[in-house]
Amino acid sequence: MEDSYIKLLIKSAQQGKKNAYRELCNINLKKIYTMAVRFLLNEKVAEKITEEIFIEAWENLKFLREDQSFDLWLRSIAIYRLLDELRTLRIRNELIDANEITDANDGVFSENKCENIILTLPEKERIIFILHEIEKYTYEEIASFMNETSLEEIKSIIINTRRVIISAEDYE
């Protein structure tokens, strides 16, 4: 359940008050941007798509129902947009064409060894692991985002990825 302050911000933003929406953005910006970096492995592409996610959310805020969590609604928009970017590479290619980036991966690394292991996983495994272990989505919810992936495959990927991370940490 969202607290009354967030609900007040949502209601004000739905009435067109941009400052209220700006505050909702500020509250959620870091988690959406971090998810984008983890998905896309490129900070500039993550910046651009994060901006687009918040614009899309603003344009569709009128469709957010009172019984919906703003956080979950926003993260769903983000996940669909991120998966679309991974499929189409639209923003990445635009930034390459504009000479703002030179390639798909700008060397995103973390101080945390476990995070670095996650960032080096193959795309599908990385996305599924992030959705389940970091974003806390259920197997069924992940399957709804990733239509071509069965529940069994999702479970298998998560189990195998956990093994990879544990074995890598053992060598430390």
Domains and CATH numbers, the chain: 1-107 (1.10.1740.10), 109-172 (1.10.10.10)
Instruction: Say if CB 81 and CB 40 are below 8 A apart.
Output: no
pLDDT tens, residue by residue, 30-75: 999 999 999 999 999 999 999 999 999 999 999 999 999 999 999 9
Instruction: Say if CB 9 and CB 23 are below 8 A apart.
Output: yes
Residue 112 pLDDT > 50: yes
Instruction: Say if CB 69 and CB 76 are below 8 A apart.
Output: no
C-alpha Rg value of the chain to the nearest Å: 17
pLDDT tens, residue by residue, 129-147: 999 999 999 999 999 999 8
Rounded Cα gap, residues 148 and 118, in angstroms: 22
Instruction: Say if CB 92 and CB 85 are below 8 A apart.
Output: yes
Model pLDDT, residue 171? 61
- Read off the pTM: 0.89
Model pLDDT, residue 106? 61
Q: Is 46 left (phi over 0), alpha (psi -120 to 50) or beta?
A: alpha
Residue 1 pLDDT > 50: no
pLDDT tens, residue by residue, 75-103: 999 999 999 999 999 999 999 999 888 76
Residue 166 pLDDT > 90: no
